[in-house]
Amino acid sequence: MMIKTMKVEWIKEKRAANSTLKYIVPVIFVLFNLFMVSIMGQSPVGRSYLMATAFNWYPVLILPIVLSLLVVNIDGKEKEEHVALLRRLDILPEKMLIAKNGIVIFELFTVLILSSTGIYLIGRFLLHEEISLKIMIAATCCLFIGSLPIVALSFFIYKLFHKRFLVILINFIFTFPSAIIAVTSYWKFFPWDYNLRILCPIIEVHPNGTFLEKSSPLTSMNAVYVGLVLSVMVYIIITFINIVMERGKGHD
């Protein structure tokens, strides 16, 4: 039944806004980074401004909005009559929620893979920068896992308020101070800064966008391991809360 539910969501997404969004965002992102790099000039030896801007601006400006849109687009298109029909077909609301989570996570993965591939190809073959494929893959995987809590929180916010603009607004507002909180000991309690903190040792870039010295405490890999575990745990906990909320609504 779960596979069938996933197929239903996948078919609905083919003609939805998210289907276009996951291909447009990487193009806009690559062009934006090219513009930023053109302002900065030549990268320092052994460093890449393209990598620094890509994995610093993405968690702060791009992903909060993109994730918000992916969630509200897939969760906000269900009309009451559609929900009633699904219940008559014995498709439980919580199963639909799990399916929607799976589709959004896949769409997020697609966006990140296309974006990273574009950045890598542009950096290596157009700008001739020293970009490590190994670091690019590690950074992309960390960015993906570190974004999972925001997916769950976006579903939670939307189900709580049922206002699309509030999901985008709250994610944007809470992401804004993430660069400051990420360098404090409180970063573990603020899911919106997980990406920035996890990426510090991987790309050796401070959350404020400057390159880190090798001796900086922010280059410690411990933050990566802690951040990845926390990201998965927070996603599971918030998703469980969302399922309980959806199950309760289904029995009303």
Rg (CA), the chain: 19
**How do the residues of the chain divide into helix, strand and coil, expressed in percent and rounded to 5?**
80, 0, 20
Whole-angstrom CA distances from 28 to 38, 114, 134 are 15, 11, 24
pLDDT at 112: 94
Top-confidence residue, 220 or 8:
220
The C-alpha atoms of residue 155 and residue 80 are separated, in whole angstroms, by: 18
Q: What residues contact residue 117 under an 8 Å CB cut-off, 6+ apart?
A: none
pLDDT at 82: 53
38: helix, coil or strand?
helix
The C-alpha atoms of residue 28 and residue 14 are separated, in whole angstroms, by: 21
Top-confidence residue, 96 or 119:
119
The C-alpha atoms of residue 209 and residue 226 are separated, in whole angstroms, by: 22
Lowest mean pLDDT among 81-90, 157-166, 189-198, 223-232: 81-90
211: helix, coil or strand?
strand
pLDDT average, residue stretch 205-234: 93
- The predicted-structure confidence for 58-69, as pLDDT tens digits, reads as follows 888 888 899 999
pLDDT at 81: 44
Whole-angstrom CA distances from 235 to 81, 113, 231 are 30, 21, 6
Residue type, 36: M
Residue 223 has pLDDT above 90, yes or no: yes
pLDDT at 50: 86
